[in-house]
Every structure is written in structure tokens, then in C-alpha cells.
Amino acid sequence: MNDTILWQTRHFVYQHFADTTHAPSVDVTAAHFNISAEEATDYYKELHNRHAFFLDLEALTIRMANPFSGIPTDFKVHANGKTYYANCAWDMLGIPAALHTDAIIEAVCTESNDTVQLEVKDGKVTNSELLVHFPLSFSHWYDDLVFT
């Protein structure tokens, strides 16, 4: 396995998320690097093992490349004329932080099920009365990434 292509693959996946709001398939990544789908799959699995992103190992699709989510969630982030999905209440702020851009965020609050709106503008965030609960200590974050 070529270490340079490995990290270029990670970068390509993230840039693809930023550009299109969704993850590139194995085939798209293989075509980009002019490698076989089997080789691209090996790079995906290695990056999954290194916690660079979280792969659905059966479907071979990227479920999470934090802060981006590969599937729809309760955390929608509108930025740069696109709508992204974030994995959680932390990642909904992680997207404008990663993109270095302003954003409007629509999120569903747990228990109350109310939809709230936040804005990131000029490096500041609004709606500061909201709270984020981290259920697990850092040492357990990777035990079950979906629950975390």
C-alpha cells in the first residue's frame, strides 16, 4: 500500500464531501486515482482502521467523515450554497469550522423535538442558550462511533 496515495485518498474524500455534500463511492475514488476498485477498497478500509473516516464495511460506503455525514441526519448545515448533513451537535458546528465559512444550521433538539436555527457568521455563533451533551468520556468515543 502506497502511503502517499492513502493520505491523498483521505484528502480526496474530504474535498469531495466539501464540493458535493456527499461521499465519493469506491468507484469514483478508483477512477480519480486511476487504480482498481479493489485497491480503492483497500485504501478505504485502511483509512477506516486508522479512524480517518468511518466506513460501512458491508456496503463499502462512507458513513462518516467527521464532521460530514454520509447519510441524512437531524443536523442540516447550509453553507456555500449547499446543504450538508452533520453527524451530531458538535459536527454541525464542525462543518463551518472545517470549511472556514458562515453557515445557517437547522437542528432538531433531543427530547423536545423542536427544530432550532443557529447561525455562524463572521466567526461567531448565535443561539447561545442551547446545550450539547457529550454522553461518553473521550476514552470511550471510538467504542461505538454511531452512538458517540
Partner 1 sequence: MLLFQSEEWIDKWCKRNNLKRGEVLTIQQVWELSKLWYHNRLSLEYHGRSMEEVAEVFRKAGLKSDFWYIQR
CA-to-CA distance for 55 and 120, rounded, in angstroms?
Answer: 29
Among 1, 58, 81, 114, binds partner 1 (CB under 8 A): 114
Among 29, 66, 69, 73, binds partner 1 (CB under 8 A): 66
Binding to partner 1 by residue 81, rule CB under 8 A?
no
Smallest gap from Cβ 60 to partner 1, in A, equals 21
Binding to partner 1 by residue 136, rule CB under 8 A?
yes
CA-to-CA distance for 77 and 91, rounded, in angstroms?
Answer: 10
CA-to-CA distance for 68 and 23, rounded, in angstroms?
Answer: 9
Binding to partner 1 by residue 25, rule CB under 8 A?
no
Cβ pair 63, 71 in contact under 8 A = yes
Cβ pair 47, 57 in contact under 8 A = no
Smallest gap from Cβ 54 to partner 1, in A, equals 13
Smallest gap from Cβ 10 to partner 1, in A, equals 8
Strand partners, 61: 56
CA-to-CA distance for 103 and 66, rounded, in angstroms?
Answer: 17
Binding to partner 1 by residue 33, rule CB under 8 A?
no
Q: Binding residues for partner 1, per CB under 8 A?
A: 7-8, 10-11, 14-15, 18, 50-52, 66-67, 75, 88-100, 107-112, 114, 116, 118, 120, 124-125, 127-139, 148
